[in-house]
Structure 1
Amino acid sequence: MNLPHRRLSGENAHHLASDIGLLLLRLAVGAVFIAHGWGDASQAGGAGANVANYRDAGIPLPELSAWFGAYMQLIGGIVVLFGALTRLIGGGFAVVMAGALIFVHRGEPLVMGQDGSGSGFAFIMLAASLALLGTGGGRFSVDRVFAGGQTRSGRSARIGATR
């Protein structure tokens, strides 16, 4: 009788730790983007109030970019908390953060200065966005549910599952 064992083998423990790490990354990234998107979307005039700032920074299509940035962060943040459309949203976040680095924080040091300038925040959020784009949401995500519970290696996502 070949019963599946429930203890974590080295490989299963590694995958579990990676998936917990992706869950924590998604929760942190989602929360930060929600906060920033909410600030832009809920201000007087909504995201449209940022059009002049986007234009002054040289951001292309400021009338569209201001709205895209605000709602990509707000709605994308909510969606990524659940691990839905994680790669797509990670790509959208990466576009927003690359734009911030190129147009807003170009030439600024990584460390925040006394005047609030600094590119470190945008840099780390770009890196986190690219990580989600590259890895997806992990085992504990809506994406995984719709993928049929398959792990990156194509095996069942259950811990200790037999091959």
Structure 2
Amino acid sequence: MTTIDRITHTRDTALVRTARDVVLLLARIGLGVIMLAHAKLEYDFGGSLAGVGRMFAESGIPLGTLTGPANVLFEVVGGIAMILGAAVRLVGVLMALNMAGAWIFVHTSGLLAMDHNGPELVIALGLLSLVLAVTGSGRFGLDHLIARRRASRTAT
């Protein structure tokens, strides 16, 4: 490999890595905003955290008075964490589990039922959550900054 080839390869690799990190940033922000909006929607429907719990219980969701408020709080905290790129691997797994629960207990219509209760959105959000859990936050997230800081402390 010539010097020119090495320079071109290094530049291309840096470009691909930057593109990957920008896409991860956009995916994290998108997922986080959707989670925050969903938490607000649930809270508005319930009128309070206790109201969300009653709404979950009336919908037949197990332990609704506990899982309703916990769900809203998780979607807020998890949404913010996802936007900031903090604990993305853990939050991604938990969001995927949350979306699996939404699919099982709430969005029970068949795929493409067009009745506004189909599981397509929760499936897509769950899969995106898993992708982020596997890939992590990318360079533009707090996870990367914390890991880099720890590495520099260990090196010194």
CA deviation profile, 1:6-36 (whole Å, cap 9, x unmatched)? x962222221111111001001001100101
Equivalent residue runs for 1:113-132 within 5 Å: 113=114, 115-132=115-132
Distance of 2:102 and 2:120 partners within structure 1: 11
Does structure 1 retain, via aligned residues, the 8 Å contact 2:106–2:117? no
- Runs of 4+ with >4 A deviation: none
Specify which structure has the higher proportion of helix. 2
Of structures 1 and 2, the one scoring higher in RCO (CA 8 A, sep 6+) is 1
For normalisation by structure 1, the TM-score amounts to 0.77
Distance of 1:40 and 1:47 partners within structure 2: 9
Equivalent residue runs for 1:13-162 within 5 Å: 13-43=15-45, 45-106=47-108, 108-111=109-112, 113=114, 115-148=115-148
Local SS of the residue matching 1:122: helix
For these two proteins, the number of residue pairs brought into alignment is 146
Match of 1:157 in 2: none
Does structure 2 retain, via aligned residues, the 8 Å contact 1:26–1:80? yes
Question: Relative to structure 1, is the Cα distance of residues 46 and 90 closer, same or farther in structure 2, using a 3 angstrom cutoff?
Answer: same
Please state how far the C-alpha of 1:63 moved relative to its aligned partner.
1.8
For normalisation by structure 2, the TM-score amounts to 0.80
Does structure 2 retain, via aligned residues, the 8 Å contact 1:97–1:123? yes
Distance of 1:129 and 1:87 partners within structure 2: 9
Distance of 1:49 and 1:14 partners within structure 2: 47
Distance of 1:15 and 1:133 partners within structure 2: 18
Unaligned runs of 5+ in 1: 155-163
> How well do the aligned residues superpose, as a CA RMSD in angstroms?
2.6
Does structure 2 retain, via aligned residues, the 8 Å contact 1:84–1:142? yes
CA deviation profile, 1:132-156 (whole Å, cap 9, x unmatched)? 1111111100110000169xxx9xx
Distance of 1:76 and 1:142 partners within structure 2: 14
Please state how far the C-alpha of 1:70 moved relative to its aligned partner.
0.7
Distance of 1:40 and 1:56 partners within structure 2: 14
Does structure 1 retain, via aligned residues, the 8 Å contact 2:88–2:136? yes
Please state how far the C-alpha of 1:129 moved relative to its aligned partner.
0.9
Please state how far the C-alpha of 1:49 moved relative to its aligned partner.
1.5
Unaligned runs of 5+ in 2: 1-6, 152-156
Distance of 2:50 and 2:91 partners within structure 1: 22
The one-letter code of the counterpart of 1:111 is: L
Local SS of the residue matching 1:78: helix
The one-letter code of the counterpart of 2:105 is: F
